[in-house]
Amino acid sequence: MRRADGALGEVQNVLARARELALQGASGSDAQDPATRRILAEEVAGLFDQLLAQANTKGSEGYLFAGFASDTVPFAASGPFGSAPPAPTVAFGADPSEVEVEIDEGVRVATTLDGRATFMGDSDGDGAPDAGREDLFDTLGDLWAALMSNDGAATAATLDRLDSATTQVSAARTRLAASAQRTEAARQAVRDRGVEFERQLSNVQDADTVSVLSELVSRETALQAALQAAARLMQPSLLDFLG
């Protein structure tokens, strides 16, 4: 979960920088010219590649956003950034499931997120973002296309989409944080139960030790008394010599 959260943190940085570039590119024609917007577009293309790299982050057990198909690269881009639109498109080719683990009896938490829903806003698999959600790749691609076309209005239109995308990623990070907190709480509960078990075991063992020592002292006292009695019985008397 920590690795996935780190990747999503980098995605938020990408979106924040893209918004800054969109603001610059959305300025009126007096402030921006085609050459300047093309320079901004080149940086957006780089941000697009960074986004793709984070979406395809790989951990020790496979790709983080590939669901149960952890050995499959989840996102693949087709087509390069050229000298004119359209921008490359990205397809999801892994499993959209969230991997869950049981942290306590009957309690399960997600350790991964649905990559398709997280990065493309598509939780139902119909190929389009759900209402109020965004395809992060399409958003950056449209920003690039607007800048390359020297279209300030189209560039400005991506600002709200970038805000929605940022909120979308923030919500995903919140879910991961909640899962991490529940997992840590369960881990602490296990530690506490272990400590209590050791305390109870120690009490039982200490009680047994006291009982054994008490029994040993009692037996030793009885033995000493028996030996003393036997010694008195075995002492010779005058009658022994006269006999």
- Res 13 pLDDT > 60: yes
Average of pLDDT values for 121-145?
A: 97
CATH T-level assignment (fold) for domain 2-190? f41 fragment of flagellin, N-terminal domain (1.20.1330)
Token output for 210: 């006291």
What pLDDT does 182 receive? 72
Token output for 136: 């992060």
Residue 91 β-bridge partners: 76
Residue type, 19: R
Nearest CA among 177, 172, 142, 173 for reference residue 160: 142
Report the distance separating Cα 137 and Cα 91, nearest Å: 10
Q: Where is average pLDDT lowest: 8-12, 25-29, 52-56, 81-85?
A: 25-29
User: Contact, 172 vs 4, CB < 8 A?
Assistant: no
What pLDDT does 229 receive? 58
- Res 4 pLDDT > 90: yes
CA angle 56, 61, 65 (to 5 degrees): 30
For residue 123, the surrounding DSSP H or E stretch is none
3-state percent helix, strand, coil for the chain, nearest multiple of 5? 65, 10, 30
What pLDDT does 234 receive? 46
Average of pLDDT values for 63-84?
A: 96
Given pLDDT bands bounded at 50, 70 and 90, which one contains residue 201? low
Domain ranges of the chain: 2-190
- Res 12 pLDDT > 90: yes
User: Contact, 173 vs 22, CB < 8 A?
Assistant: no
What pLDDT does 192 receive? 59
What pLDDT does 239 receive? 44
pTM of the predicted protein model: 0.76
Q: How far apart, in Å, are the Cα atoms of 44 and each of 16, 62, 136, 243?
A: 11, 28, 12, 126
* pLDDT tens digits, one per residue of 145-195: 999 999 999 999 999 999 999 999 999 999 999 987 876 655 565 565 665
> What average pLDDT is seen over the chain?
85
Phi, psi of 100 (to 5 degrees): -120, 155
- Indicate the SS3 state at residue 109: strand
Nearest CA among 141, 146, 148 for reference residue 119: 141
